[in-house]
Each structure stands twice: as C-alpha cells, then as structure tokens.
Amino acid sequence: PGPALYGLGGHSQSPVLSGFNLNLLSTTRQLRAFLVPFVYMLIFLLGGVGNLMVIVILWCYRRSRSSTELFLFHLALANLLLVFTFPFGVVQNIAGWIFGPFLCKVLSATNRINFYSSSLLLGCISVERYLAVVHALWAFQKQRAISVHLTCLGVWVVSLLLTLPDLLFTEVWPSRDNQPSICHFREYGKHGINAWLATRFLYHIVGFFLPSLVMCFCYIAIVRVLCRSQRLKRQKVVRVAILVTSVFLFCWTPYHVVIFLDTLNKLATANNGCAVELNTAIILSEMVAFSHCCLNPILYAFVGIRFRHDACRLLNSLGCLSQSTLQDILGTCRMDSSTTFLKSCV
C-alpha cells in the first residue's frame, strides 16, 4: 500500500526542486491523475471477476476440496477484498479523500490485512506442497477441512494484529497548497514515527521477506525431488512451481526495494534529493505489485484441467458460453487430462 492508494507508502516533503525534479514532479502528478486510475480500475475489474470465479467454483462446484483448494479459496477471498478497496483509492487520486475518517481507517486496514494474508497464504500453500511432495506426507494433503480453515483463520488473525497500527494512526490529511485531502498514515509525533517504523519493518519482514524465503526454500526442495523423476507429469509440476515463485517475486520485489529506499530517505540515511524520484518509483512499482491480484487466479487455478472444466460450466450456466462451445472445450479438457498432471496444484 503506497501513496497511490491511501498514501500508506508515505508522503515525502519535497526538497528544493531543480528543473529536472520539477518536470518529474509534473510527471508524477500526471501519473496520479491519469495512469493510476486507469490501471487500478483495470486491476479491479480483472481481479474482481477472476477471484470471484475462483471463490464460486471452489465453493459451489466442488463436492470435495483438497487442502490446497481450501487455501486457494482463502487466497482468492483475500485478493477479492483487496481489489474492492481500489475504487476508493482511485477516487482519492482524482478528487481527494471524500469518504471521511472512519472509512479512511477501515479501508486502509482492509488493504493492509489482505496484503499480509495473501503473502502468508502463499507461504502456507508452499509448505503444504513441500510436506506432500518432499516428505511424502500425502495424509497431510488429505487432512480434514476444519484444520485447514483453522490455519487460514490464524493467518487472518495475525494479519489483523499486524494492521493495528494502521487502524490507530491512519488519518485524513486536509487539503492544502492546492493539494487534495488524502487518507494517510501519520508520520509525525513520537508515537506516530515509532508506529510508522514498526509498520515498515513488519511490512518488509513479515509481509514479503519471510514468505518469499519460505516459498523459495519449499519450491527449490520440490524441484530437486521432482527433477529426479523422468515422468512428464512431474516435470509439469516443476514448471508450475517455478512460475508461481517467479511471478510473486517479479511483482513484489521492485516495490519492496523502492519502499526500503524510501524508508532510508525519510530516516535521512540517504540523499533527501531523491524524494520526488522515489514517489514516482513507488507509484509505478505499486501498480506492478498489485497486478499480482489478477495473476493469482491464472497461476493457481486456470492452469488446472478441473478448474477449466468447472469455469466452463459456470460460464455456461450464466449464459456466457453456448452448449456446443462448452462440449468442444470439455472434450479438449478430457483429452488434455490424460497428459497433464496439475491435480496436485488445483
């Protein structure tokens, strides 16, 4: 969550601006006014539809759900709630914050809760696959649904606790100097500064570094085990695992690097003259990071034969897919299912 949405990335006090920085500042304002609303509404539409389809299919079209599918259900729910906060951020970029202090706190916290829960759930999925593949604990993969839901409940509770500083210190900054009002994390005063530093630390460590470390460890171990097998089915699982980890790191690493540099800049351990450049970099990298909400349904669901089958049935029931087209697609799915092994993923 950066300045493009709710100002959580931080508001930099502009240094003495050179001609280059003035041009960059103008570019940054244009990004906020035009590109940011367009990109986030696109993510809202694609991520909303994709994750809603995942939720409906996993809830309504599956009589029995594996532990991985239950994790995916909660992951899709987290992503869906996250993208539902985007329209409010878009309005803020266009007209300033007009929704009052209560929604400022609630939506800011919702945005952050679902970021934490998404990252932690991705880590849980990698651990579940690690135990099932590397240690051959197939019983773990078939554990009772209640235990998976309790694990996910724990993830939601931890995410809520990590978001308490946002509930306490997020406020509406009134408009001034021709700048619109914004929903922003308070960074002044002793308690505000300490809360901001703690939030940044938790954001980097708990929200990104630890889940990334767990994912890399688990998937590297999975790849090492599966590469010993010459079966085509298992080789496809390896490619999916590599793709999942690579896309997560690709989407979120640039944003966290920029946010870390922004933290150093505000602590005066880096050249304060780069504040304007950092604001622009935060906006651009944040858009890449949040695009992960759209990619999750593809990476974790739509590559699965069963899920494509259920998605076609759902579209047909909604009148979006003709019966003849449905039969053609399902026929292709049945042919592909004989050579594709993704059931362990979805």
Q: Give pLDDT, residue 337.
A: 43
In order of 75, 102, 120, 198, the CA distances from 117 in angstroms are 8, 22, 5, 18
Strand pairing class (170-173; 182-185): antiparallel
Q: What is the pLDDT of residues 231-246, one digit of tens each?
A: 555 556 566 667 777 8
Q: What is the pLDDT of residues 93-142, one digit of tens each?
A: 788 888 888 998 999 898 889 889 989 998 998 888 888 778 766 555 55
Q: What is the pLDDT of residues 273-289, one digit of tens each?
A: 676 678 888 888 888 99
Is 8 among the domain residues?
A: no
- Rounded CA-CA distance 315/309 in Å is 10
Counted domains in the chain: 1
Amino acid at 220: I
Is 331 among the domain residues?
A: no
Is 6 among the domain residues?
A: no
| 44 in Cβ contact with 297 (< 8 Å) | no
Q: Give pLDDT, residue 267.
A: 78
- Rounded CA-CA distance 299/259 in Å is 26
Is 185 among the domain residues?
A: yes
Q: Which helix (H) or strand (E) holds 51?
A: helix 36-60
- Rounded CA-CA distance 311/57 in Å is 7
> Residue 268 maps to which CATH number?
1.20.1070.10
| 294 in Cβ contact with 10 (< 8 Å) | no
- Rounded CA-CA distance 113/152 in Å is 13
E strands of 125-240, at which residues?
170-173, 182-185
Q: Give pLDDT, residue 271.
A: 54
Is 291 among the domain residues?
A: yes
Give every CB contact of residue 162 below 8 A, 6+ residues apart in sequence: 112, 113, 116, 202, 206, 207
- Rounded CA-CA distance 12/262 in Å is 9
Query: At 339, is the pLDDT very low, low, confident or very high (cuts 50, 70, 90)?
Result: very low
| 251 in Cβ contact with 292 (< 8 Å) | yes
Phi-psi region of 17 (alpha: psi -120 to 50; beta: other; left: phi over 0): beta
Nearest 5 degrees, angle CA 272-CA 278-CA 280?
140
* Among 117, 116, 114, CA closest to 106: 114
Q: 144: which 2 tokens?
A: 């009772």
* Among 71, 74, 61, CA closest to 312: 61
Q: Which domain holds residue 137?
A: 19-303
Average pLDDT of the residues in 244-270: 83
Q: Which helix (H) or strand (E) holds 88?
A: helix 86-95
Average pLDDT of the residues in 251-275: 79
- Which residue matches tokens 């829960």? 117
Nearest 5 degrees, angle CA 129-CA 132-CA 136?
150
Q: How many CB atoms lie within 10 A of CB 221?
A: 16
pTM of the model: 0.79
Query: At 340, is the pLDDT very low, low, confident or very high (cuts 50, 70, 90)?
Result: very low
